Amino acid sequence: MRPSFIQAVEDAHRRGRIILMDGPMGTELQQSGLDMEKELAHRWNLSHPESVKVVYEDYTNAGAEALLTNTFSAHLGFLRGDDDWLAAIEAGIELARQPEWDHLYCLGSAGSAVGNDAKIIPGLVQTIAALQNCDGVLLETQTRMDRVRDVVDALPFADQTPLIVSFSFSRLRGTSECWIAETPNGTARTAGEVAAWADGQARRLPYLAALGVNCCVNLRLDDFVDIIRDYRKQTDLPLLARPGITSTIECEFNPRELAAQVKDFADAGVTLLGGCCGTTPAHIAAMRQEIDRLGLGWQES
Ligand SMILES: [Zn+2]
């Protein structure tokens, strides 16, 4: 029998191995006609389930070992009072949990705590509650530590679903600084400060399974590696990286370039690796090949 997700993460972390995740759903669904300006992507679990399934097939064929539910925007459906937001989450879990993929892990995606709506925290808490039956939940693309703290504090302590918290950093053009905003008036936090905070949370939240960096704005690939290194200096938590592409020459990377960083990510301390916005199944396949070539797959003895 396969180990639980948390056992797999801890085993891979201890042995310096990598669990390969999938890539983004939203930018892939755009290829099938999703207009993210007009429609929340999670609603496609109900309206276009075949399109969602095709993306998962592409990622499983690429060698992904964990699939993320198409529920990043579900809390926004809750916020605006959609009557189908919960049904869309349930459909999203079912789509990522096809019987033929029962050897893969299914992680629930809970999205970003941006915006000023007072219901943003309850919306995310309810979304995470609806994702409880996944193998874990990824609270991703976060840019506000204060909001993440509020979400984590509102989660019931008894819950044992592993939670991964992942932040999206920005690099100011022309500088080497990566930062996230702590408050609406923009107090900046470095990766080291984020990791020190997460390390403190881990002491009281036994289900905090990993700390991550995903998506991001104006980051080059080596910025992602640097963030992982900075995280590692402050915490022994397992670490996740899902680099996203910012469409500038400096910040774009092709599958070969991403694969070339696998060794650096592993050396920096990454356990969970995948892709975010703009990466494709080809990026995941290239990382699969490199992980296997280096003998870094967590399932290899
Ligand atoms: Zn992204």
Compute how many other C-beta atoms are within 10 angstroms of the C-beta atom of residue 51: 18
Gap from CA of 70 to ligand 1 centroid (Å): 12
Gap from CA of 27 to ligand 1 centroid (Å): 8
d(CA 149, CA 197): 10
Q: Read off the tokens for 64.
A: 């992904």
Gap from CA of 140 to ligand 1 centroid (Å): 9
- Region at 278 (left for phi over 0; alpha for psi -120 to 50; beta for the rest): left
Gap from CA of 1 to ligand 1 centroid (Å): 32
pLDDT tens per residue, range 158-206? 567 899 999 999 987 778 788 998 877 888 899 999 999 999 988 777 7
Neighbours of ion ligand 1 (CB under 5 A): 215, 244, 276-277
pTM of the model: 0.96
Gap from CA of 217 to ligand 1 centroid (Å): 9
Mean pLDDT of 6-24: 97
Closest residue by Cα to residue 191 from 205, 179, 203: 179
Gap from CA of 184 to ligand 1 centroid (Å): 21
pLDDT tens per residue, range 85-133? 999 999 999 999 999 999 999 999 999 988 888 899 999 999 999 999 9
Contact 76, 123 (CB under 8 A): yes
The pLDDT score that the predictor gives to residue 109 is 98
Contact 79, 40 (CB under 8 A): no
User: CB-based contacts of 113: which residues, under 8 Å, 6+ apart?
Assistant: 120, 121, 124, 142, 143, 144, 147, 148, 150, 151
Mean pLDDT of 131-138: 95
d(CA 185, CA 183): 5
d(CA 173, CA 157): 41
The pLDDT score that the predictor gives to residue 29 is 97
The pLDDT score that the predictor gives to residue 203 is 79
- Look-up of token digits 């020190």: 196
Gap from CA of 243 to ligand 1 centroid (Å): 8
Q: What's the gap between Cα 8 and its chain centre?
A: 17
Q: Read off the tokens for 93.
A: 């879990």
- Look-up of token digits 């809970």: 110
d(CA 31, CA 25): 10
Gap from CA of 150 to ligand 1 centroid (Å): 22
Gap from CA of 276 to ligand 1 centroid (Å): 4
Gap from CA of 242 to ligand 1 centroid (Å): 8
The pLDDT score that the predictor gives to residue 268 is 98
Gap from CA of 214 to ligand 1 centroid (Å): 6
Gap from CA of 105 to ligand 1 centroid (Å): 20
pLDDT at residue 157 greater than cutoff 70: no
Gap from CA of 97 to ligand 1 centroid (Å): 22
Gap from CA of 245 to ligand 1 centroid (Å): 8
pLDDT tens per residue, range 210-262? 999 999 999 999 999 999 999 999 999 999 999 999 988 889 999 999 999 99
pLDDT tens per residue, range 36-74? 999 999 999 999 999 999 999 999 999 999 999 999 999
Gap from CA of 244 to ligand 1 centroid (Å): 5
pLDDT tens per residue, range 258-280? 999 999 999 999 999 999 999 99
d(CA 199, CA 31): 39
Gap from CA of 72 to ligand 1 centroid (Å): 10
- Look-up of token digits 């819950």: 159
